[in-house]
Homo-oligomer: A and B are copies of this chain.
Amino acid sequence: MADTREERFMRMTLELAIENVKSGKGGPFAAIVVRGDEVIASGTNQVTTTNDPTAHAEVSAIRAACARLDSFQLSGCEVYTSCEPCPMCLGALYWARPDHIYFCATRDDAAASGFDDSFIYDEVVREFGKRNIATNRILPGEASRPFDAWEIKEDKIRY
């Protein structure tokens, strides 16, 4: 049976992930942003070669696609990623708001290969006082000051 359109795009994504490992650019992850039949942008994991812990495949693909489309939103787009997004990348996807997400490997596959995805999913739902990175809330009485400035800003651009 011939590949579906979505399977073709995912195969392309998997090849990018494999090539990323072989070339030594970073971890075994890739993502592409597609609109209709066009690949708008791609991204691969380049954490260690760029010294940027946020340079995951999805974040990189989102940033590149938004730069190309001159927009901070990916409405009308699909994102293909070789692995279920980690919480950082899932959050980035929610802020970018594409129409559809397709993934291949799972967070457990990533964990089995030594990546923290599954651990971070567990941490995100914990109360902040019980997390693995020590976290404290301070100066709560002043928390509203930036939001107050935002409320009265007349020409603000919401996102």
Taken residue by residue from 89 to 130, chain A's Cβ proximity to chain B (1 for < 8 Å, 0 otherwise) reads as: 111111111111111111001101110100111011100100
Task: Kindly state the separation between the CA atoms of A136 and B119 in the bound complex, as whole angstroms.
Answer: 22
Contact indicator A124/B123 (Cβ below 8 Å) = no
Contact of A52 (CB < 8 Å), options: B66, B87, B132, B151: B66
Q: Taking the complex as formed, is A155 at the interface, i.e. its CB lies under 8 A from any CB of chain B?
A: yes
What is the bound-complex CA distance between A134 and B48, given in angstroms? 31
Contact B52 A146 (CB under 8 A): no
Cβ of A157 < 8 Å from any Cβ of B?
Answer: yes
A 64-106 to B, binary, CB cutoff 8 A, 1 in contact else 0? 0011011111100000001110111111111111111111111
Q: Which residues of B contact A66 (CB under 8 A)?
A: 51-53
Number of interface residues of A (CB under 8 A): 94
CB neighbours of A128 from chain B (8 A)? 84, 101, 103
The answer to whether A53 touches B95 (Cβ under 8 A) is: yes
- Listed A/B pairs (13) with beta-carbon separation below 8 Å: A14-B142, A14-B146, A28-B147, A29-B146, A51-B66, A54-B92, A87-B94, A88-B92, A88-B94, A90-B123, A102-B135, A109-B144, A124-B124
